């Protein structure tokens, strides 16, 4: 998949497309933080726990268990994207027709349909996160921008991070680093800390399981480590990237990043995102995968630590 982003259409007054704001986060940087979840990502990881954040437009979620089958959503859809699902009372959405206008969600009496994705300016977003400023200052926390992929909206994210730094907030970003160095490097001056996912060291498997090459990611990791404090994260997916060989290669790579590299985090796979695929009326192709055992994760951590780097389980 080629590099794709929303940056070409952005202007100095551009709005950013966000999925949501999570307050009082404790796992996305030091202290109490506000996590801004951007919408839009060029990767399609098979294990993605946040499919809501993949597409670069607002989307409708359908919570089937709430649906009354009243048909109001069908009558108001301007693109004829909603139809009855067979002979039952439920409905189905033709996602190729849906434009995420939200009219169906507005008229649903049972809240079976919800709109995810909203456009905001950097100034509007700053006002929201500023509401928690007292918690940042007392706990040594701050703002983390994640996603989705923040670098897919570099101009907007840069404007927002600049405003955060002007407000003396600690700033962090969670990224796949699958973007041009020009995009990524433009954000680094406004960041105190960068988290980058290291999904697999083998390029062929990386392409097979995420849809993109890891070459630009590895190069961007090296360059970022030369300029900013950096934490690497490995989402540990049984049967995909949890082999001893992959952890060894990852640890060897991390060990050569220099003093700005802080530590490696092993994030055990979980199944908490499976219902999100149902709400997007999509199949979750690895639903049969079970989370790794505590013993296996501990063994992988010990392997990584044996290469002289700090490694931990979880964020």
pLDDT one-digit tens code per residue, 31-50: 999 999 999 999 999 999 99
| Residue 1 in this model has a pLDDT that exceeds 50 | no
Tell me which architecture the domain covering 63-116 has in CATH: 2-Layer Sandwich (3.30)
Long-range contacts of 161-165 (CB under 8 A, 24+ apart): 161/187, 161/190, 161/191, 162/190, 163/122, 163/123, 163/126, 164/126, 164/129, 164/190, 165/190
pLDDT higher than threshold 50 for residue 310: yes
For residue 3, the model assigns a pLDDT of 38
For the ranges 214-228, 270-284, 290-304, the lowest mean pLDDT is seen at 270-284
Q: How many CA atoms lie within 13 A of 102 on its CB side?
A: 8
pLDDT of residue 90: 87
Residues 123-157: pLDDT tens digits?
Answer: 999 999 999 999 999 999 999 999 999 999 999 99
User: What pLDDT score was predicted for residue 315?
Assistant: 86
Assigned CATH for 7-56+121-313: 3.20.20.70
* pLDDT 10s digits, 213-239: 999 999 999 999 999 999 999 999 999
Radius of gyration, alpha carbons of the chain: 20
Per cent of the chain over pLDDT 90 is 91
Q: What is the pTM of this model?
A: 0.91
Domain ranges of the chain: 7-56+121-313, 63-116
Task: Tell whether the model's pLDDT for residue 7 goes beyond 60.
Answer: no
Mean pLDDT, the chain, as a whole number? 94
Q: What is the pLDDT of residues 18-36, one digit of tens each?
A: 999 999 999 999 999 999 9
Percent residues over pLDDT 70 in the chain = 96
């Amino acid at each position: 998949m080629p590099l794709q982003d929303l940056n070409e259409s952005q202007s100095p007054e551009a709005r950013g497309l966000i999925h949501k704001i999570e307050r009082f986060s404790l796992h996305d940087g030091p202290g109490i933080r506000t996590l801004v979840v951007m919408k839009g990502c060029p990767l399609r990881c098979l294990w993605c726990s946040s499919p809501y954040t993949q597409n670069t437009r607002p989307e409708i979620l359908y919570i089937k268990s709430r649906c009354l089958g009243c048909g109001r959503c069908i009558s108001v859809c301007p693109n004829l994207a909603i139809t009855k699902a067979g002979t039952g009372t439920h409905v189905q959405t033709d996602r190729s027709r849906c434009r995420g206008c939200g009219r169906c969600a507005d008229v649903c009496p049972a809240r079976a349909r919800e709109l995810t994705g909203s456009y905001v300016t950097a100034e509007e977003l700053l006002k929201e996160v500023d509401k928690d400023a007292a918690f940042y200052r007392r706990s040594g926390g701050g703002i983390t921008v994640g996603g989705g992929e923040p670098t897919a909206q570099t101009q907007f994210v840069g404007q927002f991070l600049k405003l955060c730094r002007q407000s003396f907030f600690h700033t962090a970003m969670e990224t796949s680093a699958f973007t041009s160095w020009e995009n990524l490097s433009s954000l680094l001056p406004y960041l105190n800390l960068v988290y980058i996912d290291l999904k697999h060291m083998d390029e062929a498997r990386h392409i097979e399981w995420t849809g993109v090459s890891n070459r630009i990611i590895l190069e961007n990791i090296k360059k970022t480590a030369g300029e900013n404090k950096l934490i690497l994260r490995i989402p540990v997916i049984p049967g995909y990237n949890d082999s001893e060989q992959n952890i060894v290669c990852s640890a060897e790579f991390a060990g050569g990043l220099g003093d700005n590299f802080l530590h490696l985090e092993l994030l055990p796979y979980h199944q908490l995102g499976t219902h999100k695929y149902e709400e997007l009326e999509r199949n979750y192709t690895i639903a049969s995968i079970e989370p790794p055992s505590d013993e296996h994760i501990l063994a992988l951590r010990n392997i990584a630590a044996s290469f002289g780097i700090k490694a931990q389980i979880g964020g």
